[in-house]
Amino acid sequence: MQLCDAVFFNPFSFSQANNTPALIPHQLELPSTNMVPATTTPPGGIFVPVPTFFKEKAQHPSLQPAIDIQTQVAHSLHLAKSGVAGLVLLGSTGEAIHMSSMERVELISGVRKGLDEAGFTAYPILSGVLVNSV
């Protein structure tokens, strides 16, 4: 592991000298470069932000409807067959924040499986773009 010096701003801790928010020195552990998988540039062309499809009704009135993987796959295949270069799932359309981690995995895995079964085995999927996180 490599160590990286960093300074964190802590709005809840104040320096006693001038009553300003404290800056806290810290060392971060970074993975060694040989542990970080290589990334590749996505192919050229148009990548489409895809809306997330949900079932019409929830199983219980207090719950949100389940994700509709069948419709998601059908729509993704329609886009792939129409010449779109790749899909952007769970990104800028805003639904991801309302989904559990498991639902996100199920959605991406379902779309990947559907594309693979239809012969689009190398078709690119980008996911998690613009996800809210801390």
Q: What is the per-residue burial (b if ≥16 Cβ within 10 Å, else e) of 61-90?
A: eeeeeebbbeebbebbbebbeeebebbbbb
Using one digit for the tens of pLDDT, what is the confidence trace for 50-91? Answer: 999 998 887 777 677 889 999 999 999 999 999 999 999 988
Over pLDDT 70: what percentage of the chain?
Answer: 66
Q: How many Cβ atoms are within 10 Å of 14's Cβ, its own excluded?
A: 12
C-alpha 129/C-alpha 8 separation (Å) is: 25
